[in-house]
Chains A and B, each alone.
Chain A
């Protein structure tokens, strides 16, 4: 069971809702994934279009928890106002906090992130911060009131998978007991399995499913990998060794010479 801000979830798969070929494929992918938490966003609405309403109807039919994001915000003020607008619209105090520091890399502005997390936590929000794998920043986010940390494993949408496994291992070890969600950079189910094996509690991804050739099948594949990774973590994997070690017992070998 994955627990965050006091709420238990059977699934460790948090799924984004953007970039799917169609609303129907989005809905089918969500069902195939078993995800109980979906990320959503806010954008300017054209008068009379009804676009936002149709999307929101589709999400509500899926009967899941929504996690609004502040994607695209580059300043503390933008992120804080967007979070407050999201709370007003989606009627949830959950917020996936993104304060982007660079247009190309989409790397978090960790200084703005900590500041915004503090403002929003004081305002009653339950903040899910998209951050780097920097442990000191993680500590500052906890001090700011966050009860979950969401480090990237590679740049958003890059599909590279964990590029610095040592850093993730150290992060997990340092933040023992804190719910940790790997957010951004996952490309394949094996990447998700790998971070779950390292002890991360859950993953959040979008592009890897939505832009796959068959999003519904990929959603299912990720769900299976996440479950396998978690089971492997609980089963305590063997640590790598530098030397060969025979798996078949040598005691009792016949001697023919």
Chain B
């Protein structure tokens, strides 16, 4: 299924957001995630079922002012 991940179109196999992070080799501990503009908490990622066309944001800590 085709998703937009951090602004880039990508073909993925995962059914849930938690599985997607594994598929893409992300380190879960240091991430915040959103689906279609809304937060998906760390503990909700396993229940977050993905649909074709979803816009996923995967963010991590960054220097800030």
Contact = CB atoms under 8 A, between A and B. Distances in A.
Interface of A: 16-20, 26, 39-45, 47-48, 50-53, 55-56, 59, 68-69, 71, 77, 81, 84-86, 88-90, 156, 205-207
Given A43-B62, A44-B6, A47-B24, A81 B29 contact: no
A88 B37 contact: no
A249 B25 CA distance: 79
- Per DSSP, chain A at the interface is mixed
Given A52-B31, A81-B34, A81-B37, A89 B25 contact: no
How big is the B interface, by class? 20 to 34
Interface of B: 6-7, 24-27, 29-34, 37-39, 41-42, 57-65
A93 to B, nearest CB: 14
A56 B61 contact: yes
Nearest to B60: A52
A50 B29 CA distance: 10
B25 to A, nearest CB: 4
Nearest to B33: A85
Q: Which of B25, B29, B42, B63 has the most CB of A within 10 A?
A: B63
Contact of A89 (B24, B27, B59): B59
B18 to A, nearest CB: 14
